[in-house]
Amino acid sequence: MSDLGTLIKTADFKAEKHVPVIGAPDQAKAGDWIDASATVGTEIRHPNTTEHFIAWIELYFKPENGPVINLGRAEFSAHGESAAGANQGVAYTDPRFATRIQLKSSGTLQALAYCNLHGLWQSAKVITISA
């Protein structure tokens, strides 16, 4: 049986549409509220059809010293489904997740996204927190 970590794919988001792009500052002060986001399809649009879509995005923080913390998750459930047929619906979602976070130590933000056809994709961004 494969270890889950071996199933997670990474790539440069400028060349691969499945990679979540993390939006956050490189540096912040301890205790300040900062905006953090994860988006799929920033450089290359990802399809959002009944047959091919991003189902969810999760954002994590791994402090330099400490366990991984789940910061949040967004699920996307409108992909053009309709009783009239595939891609005939009136609503679609765009895979974007945003939140505000407060950090007290430096570490790494990790984003994980799931495509129903191409599996799990990950990206990371280091953030430095100063006193």
Active site residues: 16-18, 46, 52, 115, 118
Q: 95 in helix, strand or coil?
A: coil
33-40 β-sheet, strand order:
20-23, 33-40, 96-102
Give me the amino acid identity at 83. A
State the alpha helices, DSSP H only, in the chain.
4-7
